[in-house]
């Protein structure tokens, strides 16, 4: 190399440089018409709507590309397409099924279980899942900003029995690297926090988010980092997701998955077995298989407990123990998640 003129790489100012994931997020599909068109589906024959202004359709284009064109029953499509059944009012289904708004010591901070606390850091998500139990959640009240965030940090600092902080949302990885750095900077002052757990669907639906900025942020953490990705169907895992998982694993992240059991999406043993195998191939271990939280507008996704147990028994027959997730339900007021088997 000697004798050559060194190449001078111009420094790009942070503000001028929009990460790829942010532009992908900005150009996510937001209309039913466009989504059906991309999938070559006839808008006359697919029942959609109504327009849900509080929780509109949102799906990154990379995720749409994993759907099968021409298939109105595609398991990825069913998770994001608003359908008329969402307006049904179902007995026993609530707006705040976990009664989270009543268990917050500080807005945004949930301390229900021993040793760990959960902080909702944003209401935003890269995708809008129609079954989401937080679809009616008052995020604007619950996201710690400024003074509220300081209160959450004070609470965590004062409770020396909390060793693990779970960042949740919304989706924590919809925050920018700058915002994540700000949050983690304050957490680093709390020496009894050993583990930072991030619950996120972003690496699955927008793997572009796992970029050098995020990997740098992870490398700088003093806590152990656990990431629980939210993947419901084997078709969600394509090569871009596998690459993202490999990069996270290389950065030392422990990778786990939680799924929600969803009618017509993943409620058969074969699909669940393939999901576990596909996750394992991507370096991710199955952690939870959740029964749906009973939130208004999601009843059409429910699988009853008897069937859920049968499907789970089928998984146990066909998979090694370490690829069988725990079948759980979240009950308001319980000291942990309720094991269904």
Residues within the interface to ligand SF4 (CB under 6 A): 125, 127-129, 132, 134, 169-171, 201, 230
Closest CA to 170 of 104, 236, 227, 121: 121
**Residue 132: contacted member of ligand PLP, ligand SF4, none (CB under 5 to 8 Å, by partner type):** ligand SF4
Site for ligand PLP in 319-338 (CB under 6 A): 336-337
CB atoms within 10 A of CB 304: 10
Annotate each residue in 152-171 with x if it binds ligand PLP (CB under 6 A) or - if it does not, as one string.
--------------x-----
Least separation, in Å, of the C-beta of 141 and ligand PLP? 17
Site for ligand PLP in 16-55 (CB under 6 A): none
Site for ligand PLP in 111-140 (CB under 6 A): 112-113, 116, 118
Q: Give 341's DSSP letter.
A: -
Q: At what angle do helices 177-187 and 212-219 cross, to 10 degrees?
A: 10
**Residue 166: contacted member of ligand PLP, ligand SF4, none (CB under 5 to 8 Å, by partner type):** ligand PLP
**Residue 274: contacted member of ligand PLP, ligand SF4, none (CB under 5 to 8 Å, by partner type):** none
Least separation, in Å, of the C-beta of 212 and ligand PLP? 29
Site for ligand PLP in 69-88 (CB under 6 A): none
CA 153/CA 14 separation, integer angstroms: 28
Least separation, in Å, of the C-beta of 169 and ligand SF4? 6
Cα distances from 305 to residues 189, 201, 309, in angstroms, run 43, 25, 6
Positive or negative, the Cα torsion across 65, 66, 70, 71? Answer: negative
Closest CA to 112 of 56, 65, 168, 60: 168
Q: Give 87's DSSP letter.
A: G
CA 292/CA 38 separation, integer angstroms: 29
Per rule CB under 6 A, is residue 282 in the interface with ligand PLP? Answer: no
DSSP 24-42: HHHT-B--HHHHHHHTT--
Least separation, in Å, of the C-beta of 325 and ligand PLP? 11
Nearer to ligand SF4, 290 or 319 (CB): 290
Q: What does the binding site for ligand PLP look like in residue numbers (CB under 6 A)?
A: 110, 112-113, 116, 118, 166, 336-337
């Amino acid at each position: 190399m000697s004798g050559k003129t060194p190449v001078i790489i111009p420094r790009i100012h942070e503000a001028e440089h929009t990460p790829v994931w942010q532009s992908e997020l900005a150009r996510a599909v937001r209309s039913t018409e466009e989504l059906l068109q991309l999938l070559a589906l006839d808008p006359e024959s697919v029942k959609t709507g109504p327009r849900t202004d509080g929780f509109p359709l949102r799906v990154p284009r990379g995720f749409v590309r994993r759907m099968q064109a021409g298939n109105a029953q595609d398991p990825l499509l069913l998770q994001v397409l608003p359908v008329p059944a969402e307006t049904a009012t179902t007995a026993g289904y609530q707006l705040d099924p976990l009664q989270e708004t009543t268990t917050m010591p500080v807005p945004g901070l949930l301390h229900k279980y021993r040793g760990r606390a959960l902080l909702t850091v944003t209401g935003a998500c890269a995708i809008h899942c129609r079954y989401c139990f937080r679809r009616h959640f008052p995020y604007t009240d619950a996201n710690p900003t400024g003074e509220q965030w300081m209160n959450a940090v004070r609470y965590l600092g004062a409770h020396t029995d909390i060793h693990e902080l779970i960042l949740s949302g919304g989706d924590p990885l919809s925050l920018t690297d700058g915002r994540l750095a700000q949050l983690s900077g304050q957490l680093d002052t709390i020496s009894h926090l050993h583990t930072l757990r991030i619950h996120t669907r972003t690496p699955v639906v927008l793997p572009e988010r796992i970029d050098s900025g995020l990997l740098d942020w992870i490398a700088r953490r003093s806590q152990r980092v656990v990431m629980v990705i939210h993947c419901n169907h084997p078709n969600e895992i394509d090569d871009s997701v596998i690459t993202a998982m490999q990069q996270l694993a290389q950065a030392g992240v422990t990778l786990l998955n939680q799924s929600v059991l969803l009618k017509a999406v993943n409620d058969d043993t074969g699909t669940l077995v393939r999901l576990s195998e596909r996750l394992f191939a991507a370096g991710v271990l199955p952690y939870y298989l959740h029964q749906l939280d009973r939130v208004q507008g999601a009843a059409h996704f429910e699988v009853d407990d008897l069937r859920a147990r049968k499907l789970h028994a089928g998984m146990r027959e066909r998979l090694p123990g370490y690829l069988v997730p725990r079948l759980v339900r979240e009950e308001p007021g319980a000291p942990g998640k309720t094991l269904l088997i």
